[in-house]
A and B are shown apart, each in its own frame.
Chain A
């Protein structure tokens, strides 16, 4: 029997993450701690490169990219770690390495991250440096929590999402001497002896959240961080895929949560009380994915996203307050629903929450929207991993070519294997997406992963991209 307090998901509230590398970096900072006292009293935020001088008065922004004097030092460290180049200065080598690990800089971006290829490069930026705020949301903690929600009930304790990332990053270095040497060199240059590892605790399942984006996160992340997938993907591609999984899990996790609360409230108000499993299942589609042949206005999800997030937040606040006051203590989920339904004192506020028109959930709206949105569409900074695309005031589900590549390939479980569209559709349903079969087949064909046939149905085969 699931207890009542499980209905309120214990995630911290998010903020928009301005650079995608921030997701992996946030997990990395779950695995390490750094001593900053030698840098002064102000809180320190790290960013690889700042395009514009930071004006934040609350945080001291530290640029971690090797430049000027530190470039030579970096070159020396690289040499000490076995990387040398003939006929040219060590500084050129250092510059080349530094440039090579630079993340994508969007057209309007003011900061640039280091691509989180190795443990240390993932630490080149943190949330404080990315957001420019003293106390940014604990993104790493949110991701670890979401992962934990996806662990099947009854499972034994297992590594957290951040621990899995660290294991994969270490494996990467073990397999690639160049990256291992670069990692050592940048660590010594940037952190010297101030960095210390944390011991990420193993995690246990929380409740039965089968059929949710958390399960998709848990399954996809476990696969991606496994030895076979790390070996099958180039370093940069793996980092991009990891970022995509984290982006999707983060945004769809919060969107699922919002939809969940709305469904709960409707259930209580209407009296259509369901069991825990039934309630979970009733969430269903969280982001409408209309046929690609429909017009843009039909496919627009901007309003849906906005209202779902808003109503979900209002309901959540109400439920959280009651939870804190202890009314759900010792109650099962079923009993709690029945209690709320039978008592006007609870039913009325929930009903009002569902019709609340004052939106004040900008942070979470932006967090979900911009995490899923394709950043730049063309050029060197083109983002092929986005799910949503904006067109004027419309926002539509229009996945980038590599988005479907990631999701479809991870459906294949192991690299070099096959799956079918039926498997992929099931996976998409975990994410709360219910596209038309023809649209999915079309995406797969454009990505070069599958061929349609006259009897496509669920039988179209998907070949893993790597």
Chain B
């Protein structure tokens, strides 16, 4: 794959294709830019997006060469010097006349070119172009006037926006046909060339595998494990690109496996393990691995965990497989449950080294000699919103990598920028390349406003922070496909759910009809448009109490993000005041006591908290200015009914709150999320701020007012609720002593362990629900949240683990009566009893 500066060969290829397009354009012939791009990709191995960029560089070079350029490739200066030189050479080589007219005109019987009116006009343009001073033209020759160019640019832009529909709920079905070349696929998928960064370890694993294709002795096996939309098939596609397919025949259908001749050794691809195998009704994957081992083929296998489980279950139920298939099944078992362990059967052995939760490597050996190298990538372990960990796969197959990183809440700009999601977001914004001429439309067009918003680095960071918070809060991770969906939603809102892509014109999106509408109608129109703004569409719920928006729980993105909607937790306070955990006061203050002639935005700008004025200065667009004015107008309009006024205030307050929160990167339950992140980073230690609450939840003291007070658990109650304070009726209890709290982490999971005397007496998952419950505790008293119904049973379970027979200590029994507890002595008496068995 080409990287780094372009060499002469690559540049010449690029220049040739560019001029082919230019010829077609000047000749008025339709052409598809993608095809030319893909030809360059095929011949140079460069990515499609870098080719696009290079075409734009070439346009700039042509401007400097005073030559025509393609109107769709806006000049981007700061180009490679060699590009300029070679472009000049190319132009010199071809006859200008031939170049410009050869494809256009008919050749009359007498050999003279008889141009059409169009070609005559073009000829005249070129002559004018060539004779005019260089500073007179910075436009493509085929653009007659700047307004035409502007219109074209805007039209192209909206076409690019409508292309986002293909990514609204996910990506293309790459798994369908893995070897479909990029060109063919992206004809139907306008965003296909935007190759996003891969999951942690995936790129390195792909490079490792690709480098192994030159191997003649030791084949390589690459297992890509994870759910749909994580990039497995995308990687498989790139690795098999250009290889000669042997089987099956190209019937335009998706198949489970494909075989290629490879460079030196053959290659088998298990592209979609969910498709049943025609050859192996049982233990299909095991057999396919065995086939690869036997035939010394390379292997790529794209598998989801469900298939691994099914395969292992089949194997466990029916162990009739021969030794080689057994080895393969054991390989699958270890991939499913990674552990540093070796398996051997006969003269075969397999060792998987448990390097990290997201990438592992191993070797298959026969008679002690290396047979195949294996790398396994778990593509959905690492969040795409965290900095991608670096991975190095050494020559001997060992993997060097840091642990999975979960950064704290306040990421630096570099940390944001280094995440896969951030790079994809930047690539999309760059690709859309909104013309400056559209900026003024942001007043009424939420899509334009969204793009402007996302051009602001702090807003981008805010969006990424929200998405990451949604992951942490819900304990789920966005797939690559869902990240796409989130990005699309942040640009065009819920439009893909309700409109067709080719209706996305400016008028369709804005839906505003200025003119003589009343202030109420205007504001309500702005409210509808406001629902498409990034700060609202991100959560899938309107600021209006009743709306027709679809249920956010049904969308793969908003089902997570709706849970961290800042409106759920808009705590009073100011960011600048460290004593409070609140943040929303600037907005509530801006809207309270609102009177005629005032502006909420102005009030915000004047707020004592500099973050508020900063937000007004840098975080809003002309959409908000227009909205603010519309709000003032409707508020001051005497025709506005009181109940409508209240509705408008509520809506606008919610709107500003969300936008402000987005700018600050404040999700709902921010404090809880940050505490969890700290707990994860500090594992096995627990942050003090969290530990106090956890102790209160798990084993509250009998008397919370006392500094030294034991915790007493009812021994036989149905509910293991620790005894706090006085009891009305005496009961049996167990006194528990000091215990330690520690956590263990695996991937993003945190387990909290209670230990007494070094022995684990209870475990509970330390997730956000538990953190929130812990934070709701105050002064050693338990608090209550809306999650208590689900957390209480879990808490009772972990408390009752102390009462398991093996953990009971007879000297700790107590009778609790009123405020007092009394020591109970249990001295077993040896005698026959009903329990002892005179009835056996």
**Residues of chain A at the chain B interface (Cβ within 8 Å):** 80-88, 92-93, 95-97, 99-101, 103-104, 115, 117-120, 169-170, 172-178, 180-181, 183-184, 187, 195-197, 231-237, 240, 293, 378, 380, 382, 384, 400-402, 405, 420, 422, 445-448, 451-459, 465-466
Contacts of A459 in B (CB 8 A): 304-309, 336
Contacts of A236 in B (CB 8 A): 716-718, 720, 800, 803
A103 to B716, CA, bound (A): 10
A169 to B837, CA, bound (A): 11
A197 to B834, CA, bound (A): 9
Tell whether, in the assembled complex, residue A454 and residue B230 are in contact, meaning their CB atoms are under 8 Å apart.
yes
B399 within 8 A of A: no
Tell whether, in the assembled complex, residue A115 and residue B804 are in contact, meaning their CB atoms are under 8 Å apart.
no
A176 to B809, CA, bound (A): 10
B71 within 8 A of A: no
Tell whether, in the assembled complex, residue B309 and residue A458 are in contact, meaning their CB atoms are under 8 Å apart.
yes
Q: How far is the CB of A32 from chain B (nearest CB, A)?
A: 8
Contacts of B227 in A (CB 8 A): 453-457
Tell whether, in the assembled complex, residue B793 and residue A455 are in contact, meaning their CB atoms are under 8 Å apart.
no
Pick 23 A–B contacts, CB within 8 A, sort by A: A82-B826, A82-B828, A95-B729, A96-B815, A96-B817, A100-B731, A103-B718, A115-B718, A176-B808, A177-B828, A178-B826, A180-B828, A184-B831, A232-B804, A240-B718, A382-B719, A401-B790, A448-B765, A451-B475, A454-B227, A455-B227, A458-B306, A466-B801
Number of A-B contacts (CB under 8 A): 205
Q: How far is the CB of B785 from chain A (nearest CB, A)?
A: 14
A403 to B729, CA, bound (A): 29
A378 to B829, CA, bound (A): 41
Q: How far is the CB of A91 from chain B (nearest CB, A)?
A: 10
> In B749-801, which residues have CB < 8 Å from any A CB?
749, 764-765, 767, 789-790, 793-794, 797, 800-801
Tell whether, in the assembled complex, residue B716 and residue A405 are in contact, meaning their CB atoms are under 8 Å apart.
no
> In B56-90, which residues have CB < 8 Å from any A CB?
none
Contacts of A101 in B (CB 8 A): 716
Tell whether, in the assembled complex, residue A401 and residue B794 are in contact, meaning their CB atoms are under 8 Å apart.
yes
A232 to B810, CA, bound (A): 18
Partner of B732, one of A96, A118, A180, A293: A96
Tell whether, in the assembled complex, residue A96 and residue B306 are in contact, meaning their CB atoms are under 8 Å apart.
no
A85 to B827, CA, bound (A): 11
Contacts of B310 in A (CB 8 A): 422, 458
Secondary structure call for the B interface: mixed
Contacts of A446 in B (CB 8 A): 790
A223 to B228, CA, bound (A): 37
Please count how many residues in chain B sit with their CB below 8 Å of the partner chain's CB atoms.
Answer: 69
Tell whether, in the assembled complex, residue A100 and residue B835 are in contact, meaning their CB atoms are under 8 Å apart.
no
A40 to B794, CA, bound (A): 48
Tell whether, in the assembled complex, residue B817 and residue A92 are in contact, meaning their CB atoms are under 8 Å apart.
yes
Q: How far is the CB of A391 from chain B (nearest CB, A)?
A: 15
Partner of A455, one of B380, B553, B803: B380
Partner of B815, one of A88, A172, A175, A384: A88
Tell whether, in the assembled complex, residue B803 and residue A235 are in contact, meaning their CB atoms are under 8 Å apart.
yes
B643 within 8 A of A: no
Partner of A178, one of B226, B810, B831, B839: B810
Partner of B839, one of A197, A237, A401, A422: A197
Task: Name the residue on B nearest A443 (C-beta).
Answer: B790
A201 to B716, CA, bound (A): 32
Contacts of A454 in B (CB 8 A): 226-230, 380, 476-477, 479
A326 to B477, CA, bound (A): 64
Tell whether, in the assembled complex, residue A183 and residue B732 are in contact, meaning their CB atoms are under 8 Å apart.
no
Tell whether, in the assembled complex, residue B305 and residue A82 are in contact, meaning their CB atoms are under 8 Å apart.
no
B806 within 8 A of A: yes
Mask of B684-722 contacts with A, CB within 8 angstroms, 1/0: 000000000000000000000000000000111111100
Name the residue in A237, A422, A455 with the highest tally of chain B Cβ atoms < 10 Å from its Cβ. Answer: A455
A81 to B313, CA, bound (A): 51
Contacts of B837 in A (CB 8 A): 170
Task: Name the residue on A nearest B834 (C-beta).
Answer: A187
A237 to B716, CA, bound (A): 9
A382 to B721, CA, bound (A): 13
A2 to B167, CA, bound (A): 57
Contacts of A181 in B (CB 8 A): 826, 828-829
Contacts of A172 in B (CB 8 A): 805
A180 to B731, CA, bound (A): 17
A80 to B286, CA, bound (A): 65
Given A177-B826, A235-B803, A455-B227: A405 touches B833 (CB 8 Å cut-off): no
Known pairs A115-B718, A459-B309. 9 more at Cβ < 8 A? A183-B835, A187-B834, A231-B806, A235-B803, A380-B719, A453-B477, A454-B476, A455-B228, A459-B336
A174 to B833, CA, bound (A): 11
Tell whether, in the assembled complex, residue B834 and residue A195 are in contact, meaning their CB atoms are under 8 Å apart.
yes
Task: Name the residue on B nearest A380 (C-beta).
Answer: B719
B13 within 8 A of A: no
Contacts of B553 in A (CB 8 A): 293
Contacts of B839 in A (CB 8 A): 196-197
B315 within 8 A of A: no
List 3 A-B pairs, minimum CB-CB distance, nearest first. Answer: A457-B306, A455-B227, A197-B839
Task: Name the residue on A nearest B810 (C-beta).
Answer: A177
Q: How far is the CB of B440 from chain A (nearest CB, A)?
A: 42
Contacts of B831 in A (CB 8 A): 184
B816 within 8 A of A: yes
Tell whether, in the assembled complex, residue A447 and residue B479 are in contact, meaning their CB atoms are under 8 Å apart.
no
Tell whether, in the assembled complex, residue A422 and residue B309 are in contact, meaning their CB atoms are under 8 Å apart.
yes
Tell whether, in the assembled complex, residue A235 and residue B716 are in contact, meaning their CB atoms are under 8 Å apart.
yes
B436 within 8 A of A: no
Tell whether, in the assembled complex, residue A447 and residue B226 are in contact, meaning their CB atoms are under 8 Å apart.
no
Tell whether, in the assembled complex, residue B805 and residue A231 are in contact, meaning their CB atoms are under 8 Å apart.
yes
Q: How far is the CB of A267 from chain B (nearest CB, A)?
A: 30
B319 within 8 A of A: no
Q: How far is the CB of A75 from chain B (nearest CB, A)?
A: 11
Mask of B300-328 contacts with A, CB within 8 angstroms, 1/0: 00001111111001000000000000000
Partner of B476, one of A180, A235, A452: A452
Q: How far is the CB of B42 from chain A (nearest CB, A)?
A: 32
B246 within 8 A of A: no
Contacts of A458 in B (CB 8 A): 306, 309-310
Mask of B391-408 contacts with A, CB within 8 angstroms, 1/0: 000000000000000000
Q: How far is the CB of B478 from chain A (nearest CB, A)?
A: 8
Q: How far is the CB of B124 from chain A (nearest CB, A)?
A: 60
Given A82-B826, A195-B834: A457 touches B797 (CB 8 Å cut-off): no
Mask of B272-286 contacts with A, CB within 8 angstroms, 1/0: 000000000000000
Q: How far is the CB of B121 from chain A (nearest CB, A)?
A: 57
Q: How far is the CB of B301 from chain A (nearest CB, A)?
A: 14
Q: How far is the CB of B824 from chain A (nearest CB, A)?
A: 5
Tell whether, in the assembled complex, residue A175 and residue B475 are in contact, meaning their CB atoms are under 8 Å apart.
no
Partner of A457, one of B304, B764, B813: B304
Q: How far is the CB of A208 from chain B (nearest CB, A)?
A: 19
Q: How far is the CB of A290 from chain B (nearest CB, A)?
A: 15
A452 to B559, CA, bound (A): 14
Partner of B749, one of A184, A231, A451: A451
B107 within 8 A of A: no
Given A97-B732, A459-B308: A175 touches B794 (CB 8 Å cut-off): no
Tell whether, in the assembled complex, residue B476 and residue A87 are in contact, meaning their CB atoms are under 8 Å apart.
no
Contacts of B343 in A (CB 8 A): none
A80 to B827, CA, bound (A): 10
Task: Name the residue on A nearest B825 (C-beta).
Answer: A84
Name the residue in B230, B716, B720, B837 with the highest tally of chain A Cβ atoms < 10 Å from its Cβ. Answer: B716
Tell whether, in the assembled complex, residue A92 and residue B730 are in contact, meaning their CB atoms are under 8 Å apart.
yes
Name the residue in B227, B336, B715, B827 with the highest tally of chain A Cβ atoms < 10 Å from its Cβ. Answer: B715
Q: How far is the CB of B442 from chain A (nearest CB, A)?
A: 36
B554 within 8 A of A: yes
Partner of B475, one of A82, A93, A452: A452
Tell whether, in the assembled complex, residue A100 and residue B717 are in contact, meaning their CB atoms are under 8 Å apart.
yes
Task: Name the residue on A nearest B833 (C-beta).
Answer: A184
Given A99-B729, A176-B808, A457-B304: A448 touches B822 (CB 8 Å cut-off): no
Q: How far is the CB of B562 from chain A (nearest CB, A)?
A: 13
